[in-house]
Every structure is written in structure tokens, then in C-alpha cells.
Amino acid sequence: MSTFGKRMLIIQCDAAQLPGLYSEVMDRRTKTVGKITDLFGNVKSPYALVLCHGPCSVQPGEKLFARESPLPAKTRKGPVWSKAK
């Protein structure tokens, strides 16, 4: 884990349980730290860029967890088709 600036955090992820983009990142006390904004690196050892809500206060070696954020409902554009009865 390393910090980049005051609000960005780079963490190594488990390749078997890769979190999705915009997942919430929490510490062991389930306090929200930030959101994953980018995934990069090798497929076997990926990294995630976390944008912290405030100044990063995560200690080196502290374990972080990801929780999938619910995706916003997509707005449908175009005609709505219904089945004939």
C-alpha cells in the first residue's frame, strides 16, 4: 500500500476476489475510506487506485475490504415495446 498525494491510495488486490470499479473501500472497523476509481497492473497481482473521502489515514499494512456499490438504475431511451396479448 502506498499513498499518492493526500487523497489517493494504491493497494494490492487479491486476484481471486477482484473488486469492481466504484466499490466502497472500508477498514476493519467498517468505516468507509473511499472508492475504487481504477484497476491496473498484472492479472495475477492487480492494484487498485482508491480515492479517499478525506486525507488518507490508513496505516501501512492495515487490511482493507471492498463492498460492491449498487449500480444506479439505467434510464431507458427510445420506445418502450410491449408484447401483444
pLDDT digits (tens, 9 = 90+) for 1-44: 788 788 999 999 999 998 889 999 999 998 999 999 999 999 99
- Separation between Cα atoms, residue 65 and residue 49, nearest integer Å: 13
N- to C-terminal Cα separation, the chain: 59
Protein fold of 2-67: Thrombin, subunit H (2.40.10)
Q: What pLDDT is stored for residue 56 in this prediction? A: 85
pLDDT number for residue 58: 85
Which of 39, 51, 42 is closest to 7 using CA atoms?
51
Domain edges within the chain = 2-67
Cβ proximity of 22 and 36 under 8 Å? yes
Q: Of the candidates 16, 36, 41, which has an alpha carbon nearest to the alpha carbon of residue 26?
A: 36
Q: How confident is the model at residue 71 (pLDDT cuts 50, 70, 90)?
A: low
β-bridge partners, 36 = 50
